[in-house]
Structure 1
């Protein structure tokens, strides 16, 4: 387990934090195809960086990672422009077609842009693929190898059924850094197995890190408590260690279940047993290192 002697000899100081996972979208530019059902009405509006900035400032968040929401390179270009135009976004997790024959050229083109240095990783909505072994397709494996060759990381957006393929993929590509989004989205309140065994196996691979994010929306939105999330956070922190865990808000999706401040406060509660050095890793150091911010 992570240390539980929380800083008896270390002075706790205000920490400049990194939010390693948030989104923005403008519904007048394009619809968000995943935004289906009346339960998502509270976030069915535009969210901009200007909306996030005061929330981040109030939470001592000084840098963020802006993450893709749709499978379009055009969105990635827009996000790079956003990152270049402000001081808050330090990196972008974009999208490219991993199965495309010209993926290497597409990545080279993005990285060659004046704002291309903000591109830190690629992501695909693997959890929406009906084939739980989608990651193991030869064309996808070839695409992931191209991501590694470009010097980028890859964000794993998966659910528990996709984890065996993710484990094999991380083994197949030791040169690629993988980042598990939202602790692979276990349903909070259901049995930990088989999520826990798969996650621990994934954590045994040194090229994998994990985001402590997305948990509040996997719990009952109106009745969750930090104690409901603690067993899952404990598994992640024990399996990966704080130096391979990073905080992400998942704003504005989190607003379905909690405010930005509540998400951050909950993450602080879940990591309260860590030392200040370990907390600094979770709230800044791991993201900064993993994404080369």
Structure 2
């Protein structure tokens, strides 16, 4: 009997500490507010497991999460067959979870109602059969591709799990594959670091008919050569984000600020911080996005379990609700569910 090789660690992901998280609890604010969580993962790795039951524990922790969107994370790839098609195994796995959830036997939340997978767009035109295989495997739930492009010249920065080369988003081969997305009705989730946002701007302008969902407020870095330079990072990031907002085909996910690679160190403290503290720290970044893009082009995201190193699911969404406290009813509806439902066609 053979077993599938263990997947590599996602470069910037570390398991959450359950004992540490248990030191702080909050009841959900505005528990009836509908939420679509447009960004989470599922995996079983040597150092951490986050599967359907774990996600249900989080989505069932007090907030009204009506649906979720799964985003690729190198989970459950096919063990054999052509290498380019192996990521389709992830879509098959997630669609099975979605089908279980859709049965109604696991509560009212519709897990993985949308699926974002991986295909190597650098294959150019040869990526077409991979995209078509994802669509078939997704059972009507497949919505787009994420080909992570996070790269930095510093050896201290861990590049994305796809091991991208420098300048991936400007590469002609990548763009040939990228051109295949829109004809199939597929979106592109962009994950990169803030110094690369100008590359994404160029891509967005070159393909105005392809919807881009920018993950994790554009990936501001806070470690390695960026440590202790938050003001400088914020200024550069703000300019890039305002330029991107001029592209109507770009929307942004508000989250990912709890990751270890960012400008905050809440995960290093003796105990988890309350939602008030998180909201106060994240406010300049979130407000900048909403002011630039508008609520109809922004969506709050959990990025779980990655951001679980900073806080629990209940505390995370409390922080988001505090950040949106001054929003109108229509703006709040867009930020928490409307934008995600529209963009991912849920």
> What TM-score results when the alignment is normalised by the length of structure 2?
0.73
Corresponding residue of 1:76: 91
* 1:198–1:131 Cα change, 3 Å: farther
Q: Which residue of 1 aligns with 2:107?
A: none
Range 82-91 or range 197-206, more displaced:
82-91
Q: 55, 58, 62: which is aligned to 1:55? A: 58
* Structure 2 unaligned regions, length at least 5: 1-29, 78-86, 103-109, 151-159, 223-228
Deviations 1:211-230 (A, max 9, x none): 01111222112456321111
Greater mean alpha carbon deviation, residues 15-24 or residues 181-190: 181-190
1:112 corresponds to: 136
- Aligned equivalent of 2:335: 282
Tell me which residue corresponds to 1:20.
38
Q: Could you tell me which residue of structure 1 aligns to residue 127 of structure 2?
A: 103
1:198 aligns with 2:240: yes
SS of residue paired to 2:169: helix
Distance in structure 2 (CA, Å) of the matches to 1:232 and 1:73: 35
Query: Is 2:183 the partner of 1:160?
Result: no
- Name the CA distance, whole Å, in 1 between partners of 2:72 and 2:183: 21
Structure 1: 5+ residue stretches without partners? 1-11, 32-43
Match of 2:290 among 214, 222, 237: 237
* Gap change, CA 1:81 and 1:16, over 3 Å in 2: same
Partner Cα distance (1:109, 1:156) in 2: 21
Structure 1 distance, partners of 2:100, 2:122, is: 31
Q: Aligned to 1:193, what secondary structure does the other structure show?
A: helix
1:253 to 287, 291, 306: 306
> 1:271 pairs with 315, 324, 328, which one?
324
Q: TM-score, normalised by structure 1?
A: 0.85
* Aligned residue pair count: 266
2:49 aligned counterpart, secondary structure: coil
Distance 1:245 1:49 in 2: 26
Counterpart CA distance in 2 for 1:116 and 1:94 is 13
Deviation of 1:132 (Å): 4.2
1:214 to 253, 256, 259: 256
Distance in 1 separating the partners of 2:258 and 2:323: 12
Cα shift readout 1:74-125 (whole Å, capped 9, x = no counterpart): 2233222222331322101100111224211221222234x43111110012
Specify the structure having the higher radius of gyration (Cα): 2
The CA distance in 2 between the partners of 1:175 and 1:267, in whole Å, is 30
Name the Cα RMSD after superposition: 1.9
Flag the 1:13–1:77 CA change in 2: closer, same or farther, 3 A.
Answer: closer
* 1:73 Cα offset (Å): 3.1
Q: Is 1:122 aligned with 2:145?
A: yes
